[in-house]
């Protein structure tokens, strides 16, 4: 239901560069949560401090969304992937050479219920698989189409392999009766 919060979108695409960033709806949702939470917290404060606690948490979550920034730049000419992330002004920047990346992967997320593994109801995850180190998470969605467009753009510019494992067959012992 809230897949659009924190989703990456293709902001710019050329033959040698792809820029992914958070959608504007993330900041808009954060602004609405911040305003509504702060207003309710201020009105509830005179009645009870404890009554104002939950709306204050909603306002804090809205402030996180408003200040959240995430940008991935895949630059073939420079030969790097730049990942810039920040929240509340605290930034995390990472530069990864493109030759460290192995593939762009889209997989169906699975859920485990007891001894059985079930496909999660339409949850797909896209990430960049690295040769060395942890994978770089891109996005998650209920529908695969937007993830596939993003993954194809990255694979085209970075000249990476695209692995689409969303419809992969489960091993025989994991299949349902």
Residues 71, 84 contacting (CB under 8 angstroms) = yes
Number of domains present in the structure of the chain:
1
Residues 6+ apart with CB under 8 A from 171: none
Please give the model's pTM, rounded to 2 decimal places: 0.76
Question: Is 46 part of any domain?
Answer: no
Q: Which domain holds residue 81?
A: 8-29+66-169
Question: Is 48 part of any domain?
Answer: no
Instruction: For residues 29 and 51, give the distance between their C-alpha atoms in angstroms, rounded to a whole number.
Output: 23
Instruction: For residues 45 and 39, give the distance between their C-alpha atoms in angstroms, rounded to a whole number.
Output: 10
- Token pair for 42: 């201020």
Question: Is 138 part of any domain?
Answer: yes
Instruction: For residues 167 and 121, give the distance between their C-alpha atoms in angstroms, rounded to a whole number.
Output: 13
Question: Is 118 part of any domain?
Answer: yes
Q: Using one digit for the tens of pLDDT, what is the confidence trace for 34-76?
A: 999 999 999 999 898 888 999 999 999 999 999 999 999 999 9
Task: Give pLDDT, residue 49.
Answer: 87
Question: Is 176 part of any domain?
Answer: no
Question: Is 101 part of any domain?
Answer: yes
CA–centroid distance for 62 within its chain: 17
Question: Is 54 part of any domain?
Answer: no
**Of all residues in the chain, what percent carry a pLDDT higher than 70?**
83
Question: Is 56 part of any domain?
Answer: no
| Domain CATH number, residue 87 | 2.30.29
Instruction: For residues 95 and 90, give the distance between their C-alpha atoms in angstroms, rounded to a whole number.
Output: 17
């Amino acid at each position: 239901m809230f897949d659009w919060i924190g989703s990456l979108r293709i902001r710019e695409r050329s033959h040698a560069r792809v820029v992914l960033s958070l959608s504007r709806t993330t900041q808009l949702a954060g602004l609405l949560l911040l305003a509504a939470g702060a207003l309710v917290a201020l009105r509830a404060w005179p009645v009870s401090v404890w009554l104002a606690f939950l709306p204050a948490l909603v306002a804090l979550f809205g402030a996180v969304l408003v200040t959240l920034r995430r940008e991935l730049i895949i630059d073939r000419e420079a030969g790097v992937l730049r990942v810039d992330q920040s929240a509340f002004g605290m930034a995390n920047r990472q530069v990864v050479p493109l030759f460290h990346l192995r593939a762009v992967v889209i997989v169906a997320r699975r859920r485990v219920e007891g001894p059985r593994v079930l496909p999660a109801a339409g949850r797909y995850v896209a990430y960049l698989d690295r040769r060395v180190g942890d994978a770089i998470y891109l996005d998650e969605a209920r529908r695969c189409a937007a993830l596939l467009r993003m993954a194809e753009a990255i694979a085209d510019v970075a000249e990476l392999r695209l692995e689409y494992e969303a419809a992969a067959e489960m091993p025989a012992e994991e299949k349902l009766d």
